[in-house]
Amino acid sequence: IATGTSLGRPRSLPALPLVGSLLQLAGHPQLHLRLWRLQGHYGSLYALWMGSHYVVVVNSYRHAREVLLKKGKDFAGRPRTVTTDLLSRGGKDIAFASYGPLWKFQRKLVHTALSMFGEGSLALERIICREAASLCETLSAAQDMALDMAPELTRAVTNVVCSLCFNSSYRRGDPEFEAMLEYSQGIVDTVAKESLVDIFPWLQIFPNKDLALLKKCLQVRDQLLQQKFTEHKVPAGLGQGDAGAGVVGTVPRTAWLMHVLWQEAFCGDTAKDLMDALLQVRLSAENSSLPEPGLELTDDHLLMTVGDIFGAGVETTTTVLKWAVLYLLHYPEIQRKIQEEMDHKIGLVRHPHLSDRPLLPYLEATISEVLRIRPVSPLLIPHVSLTDTSIGEYSIPKGARVIINLWSVHHDEKEWDKPEEFNPGRFLDERGQHIHSPSPSYLPFGAGIRVCLGKVLAKMELFLFLAWVLQRFTLECPEDQPLPSLEGKFGVVLQVQKFQVKARLREAWRAAS
């Protein structure tokens, strides 16, 4: 025990040999809710066994903060599971890779690329607005008809990450886009479900429907990624400059590589997108006289990294947009309030810009409330302790899997007034002006060294897409249909059940145009 004192272990659910605590969890498809309710009996921090894996479940903000922020490095590992290993070719991506120099390097590269390509830049705003305009066109064309907005929202969001990763985009009905929709759904349905294969890897030898579907979907995804990769392979000669040859000795290696990335990929104007940038960094690293041992980016690393950004970029933001639309159908008065704020602050003559964010606190508060009440990633991605350590007054052994139950953190009655109530106003000050969280128990993007890499991008998209749509349309539930369910479907993201919407052009917009 790291602390040197004799701390005890967290209370554990009963566990049987081989199956562990599976009996308490089996038959509960909504794992986040099951783990939330188990607090009643075991307290907010408890342990359980998934097969032979020791798992600690954290349900309070105080402990989540300790794991993610105070002892972030102790808990920066990721478990290896059968499904995520298939998805990431054995952890060669960012999200499912364990802590190590290569993971750090990949994360840093993507972070730099995202901040240089887009975040806060006009280029990215232009891309998002282009897609928002196209989304509004589609909604206009479907005037007053009941429409499943999901594929349209997905296409808009996909085109933003597609522009960012591959400098390309999809038209409506593009067969490649349809294939992507299908494989991505298959992956979301099967990956990281703590399914039986992940608990008992030896079950792989038996036929397993989920695993077969995952493998089929991954084949389609890999083909698509490979094709983009081949198209981007840097033509011979490009990026082979002598940048950095004299720098190596004086600057730490990683910093040197970042310098090369900066110089060649971004300032040199040769990298059009993330794929280009990653390829160029690798080329520069290979051409340096001293290749960094342990920092060798293979084709698989590049492919899986882009796959992560593409997958995360699409599934998370689209899911939040779907939740936002669903809540607006349930709370028309909140939708009206957002529209009044927009009419008042922006009007109907011009389109919303990113710089309007401070002018629209009620819209921002609504987005914050959607992220609280239906967290996209209700159990984050499991963390793993890299050393013997502790949480609160309990000792945690090296190798423990730590699940942060974000659902519990966002629905804690001690922190939130009526947590199941959808109330954007809770994020505003008394004058309804400033956006602030009334409780620190709010971590929609995680925190610390594993914090979401796409937070800034996601917030830009959520704001612009919702602002564009709500300036023009009122979203309603079709008259002949009941209000769709607000219950999520647990998985690697908390999914929304299919529903239809009627997008009615606003009278005010019609009159103004």
Q: Does 95 bind ligand HEM (CB under 6 A)?
A: yes
Contact by Cβ (8 Å): 352, 469: no
The binder of ligand PLO chosen from 187, 320, 462, 494 (CB under 6 A)? 187
Contact by Cβ (8 Å): 109, 276: no
> What residues are paired with 396 via a beta bridge?
389
Among ligand PLO, ligand HEM, none, the one that 457 touches (CB under a kind-dependent 5 to 8 A) is ligand HEM
Nearest by Cα to 490 from 413, 407, 384:
407
The single residue listed with the structure tokens 């798992």 is 55
Among ligand PLO, ligand HEM, none, the one that 329 touches (CB under a kind-dependent 5 to 8 A) is none
User: Could you tell me how many residues of this chain bind ligand PLO (CB under 6 A)?
Assistant: 16
Q: Residue 89: which region, alpha, beta or left (left: phi > 0; alpha: psi -120 to 50)? A: left
Binders of ligand HEM among residues 177 to 236 (CB under 6 A) are none
Residue number of the CB closest to ligand PLO reads 311
Closest CB to ligand HEM among 326 and 371?
371
User: Which two structure tokens, joined as six digits, stand for 12?
Assistant: 């554990």
Among ligand PLO, ligand HEM, none, the one that 188 touches (CB under a kind-dependent 5 to 8 A) is ligand PLO
The Cα–Cα gap between 408 and 419 comes to 10
The Cα–Cα gap between 455 and 312 comes to 11
The binder of ligand PLO chosen from 69, 146, 248, 381 (CB under 6 A)? 381
Stretch that binds ligand HEM, among 325-333, 408-416, 447-455, 470-478 (CB under 6 A): 447-455
Least distance in Å: CB of 145 to ligand PLO?
A: 29
Q: Does 198 bind ligand PLO (CB under 6 A)?
A: no
User: Where would I find the beta strands (DSSP E) of 74-181?
Assistant: 146-147
Stretch that binds ligand PLO, among 65-73, 182-190, 239-247, 291-299 (CB under 6 A): 182-190
Q: Does 312 bind ligand PLO (CB under 6 A)?
A: yes
Where does residue 386 rank: exposed (0-12), middle (13-18), buried (19+ CB within 10 A)?
A: middle
The single residue listed with the structure tokens 């994020």 is 427
The Cα–Cα gap between 389 and 130 comes to 49
Q: Does 59 bind ligand PLO (CB under 6 A)?
A: no
The binder of ligand HEM chosen from 308, 341, 369, 412 (CB under 6 A)? 308
Q: Does 370 bind ligand PLO (CB under 6 A)?
A: no
List C-alpha distances in Å: 64 to 45, 71, 310, 396, 420. 10, 10, 28, 14, 21
Q: Does 444 bind ligand HEM (CB under 6 A)?
A: yes
Among ligand HEM, ligand PLO, none, the one that 191 touches (CB under a kind-dependent 5 to 8 A) is ligand PLO
Q: Does 311 bind ligand HEM (CB under 6 A)?
A: no
The binder of ligand PLO chosen from 74, 264, 308, 341 (CB under 6 A)? 308
**Three-class SS state of 58:** strand
Q: Does 380 bind ligand HEM (CB under 6 A)?
A: yes
Q: Does 312 bind ligand HEM (CB under 6 A)?
A: yes
The binder of ligand PLO chosen from 316, 395, 405, 471 (CB under 6 A)? 316
Phi, psi angles (nearest 5°) of residue 394: -115, 145
Share of the chain residues as helix, strand and coil, in percent rounded to the nearest 5: 50, 10, 40
> What residues are paired with 395 via a beta bridge?
390
Among ligand PLO, ligand HEM, none, the one that 454 touches (CB under a kind-dependent 5 to 8 A) is ligand HEM
Closest CB to ligand HEM among 22 and 367?
367
Instruction: Identify the sign of the CA torsion 170, 173, 179, 185.
Output: positive
Contact by Cβ (8 Å): 128, 460: yes
Contact positions vs ligand PLO (CB under 6 A): 95, 184, 187-188, 191, 221, 308, 311-312, 315-316, 376-377, 381, 492-493
